[in-house]
Amino acid sequence: MMNSEIAIKLHQVFFETEQLQIIKGITGEFKKGKITTIIGPSGSGKSTLFRLLNGLQSVAKGSIDIFDQSINDYDPIALRKQVGIVLQEAVMIKGNVKENLALPYSLEGKALSDDEAEYMLELVGLKKEILTRDSGDLSGGQKQKVSIARTLLNKPDILLLDEITSALDRVSLHDIEQLIQHINHQFETTIIWITHNIEQAYAIADDVWVLIDGELAAAGPIKLLEKTTNQAVREFVWGDDHS
């Protein structure tokens, strides 16, 4: 079968620590160029799944294919560029915005030109004047935008977003949602977005995965959440008494 519509394919993926089974046999797909949201209770394995998808951890059993190629066949550094990740906490190093933005380059001994820096800032809706600002003086929303720009510097085909708006106020949250949708449209970037905000899932997603206790309890178009008969999913999404 041709898989050209599929960005990531998981088959019977397991992951465990010495004490604990965390991912328990997940099989599923993420569609190319779409926005898929991952929801599920805290501790259900969402962030662990992301670490498997960008090679920070390896599966214990099962397989992950990225663009039809086994994740094991990727060079780890190339994989981390192709599958970019942005975390809830936008970690900034001491220094100005340009130094923060340039980090993926400076780690490789490469310089970031002013033109490129300004282009990246424009892409995430920040003014170029901010380049010389100390990173400690940025708002939460600005930090998250710099963090997104920094990840985009490697031109990832797949972008993993782990609760990136949970520390932000409502205005910045909507701002970031629009920015991600814009990036999805402009570059056809495949977006996988973990959120605990169901309203946000509806606002941004084409598809949804519901992870419960390390298992994929539901997957498909976001609208399926209203129709699902899976009781655990209904309880998580709607609470007990939704009819």
Rounded to a whole number of angstroms, the minimum distance from the CB of residue 50 to ligand ADP is 8
DSSP 78-131: HHHHHEEEE-SS----SSBHHHHHTHHHHTTT-PPPHHHHHHHHHHTT--GGGG
Q: Choose the one of ligand ADP, Mg ion, none that binds residue 124, judging by a C-beta under 5 to 8 angstroms depending on kind.
A: none
Which one of the spans 41-49, 145-153, 201-209, 219-227 is the region binding Mg ion (CB under 5 A)? 41-49
Span of 33-41, 45-53, 106-114, 232-240 interacting with Mg ion by CB under 5 A:
45-53
How far is 218 from 158, CA to CA, in rounded Å? 22
Is 47 a binder of Mg ion (CB under 5 A)? yes
Residue 85, classified by CB atoms within 10 Å of its CB into exposed (0-12), middle (13-18) or buried (19+), is: buried
196 touches 46 (CB < 8 A): no
Q: Which of 13, 34, 39, 44 binds ligand ADP (CB under 6 A)?
A: 44
**Closer residue to Mg ion (CB): 138 or 176:** 176
Which whole-number Å values give the CA distances from 118 to 65, 101, 111, 127, in the listed order?
35, 10, 14, 8
Question: Smallest distance, Å, CB 130 to ligand ADP?
Answer: 31
- Asked if 45 touches ligand ADP (CB under 6 A), the answer is yes
Using rule CB under 6 A, residue 46 touches ligand ADP? yes
Which of 205, 208, 211 lies closest to 232, judged by CA? 211
Binding mask 1-20 for ligand ADP (x = CB under 6 A): ----------------x--x
Among 3, 5, 43, 114, binds ligand ADP (CB under 6 A): 43
Residue 136 binds which of Mg ion, ligand ADP, none (CB < 5-8 A, kind-dependent)? none
Strand, coil or helix: 2: coil
- The number of residues making up the chain comes to 243
Residues 106-145 that bind ligand ADP (CB under 6 A): none
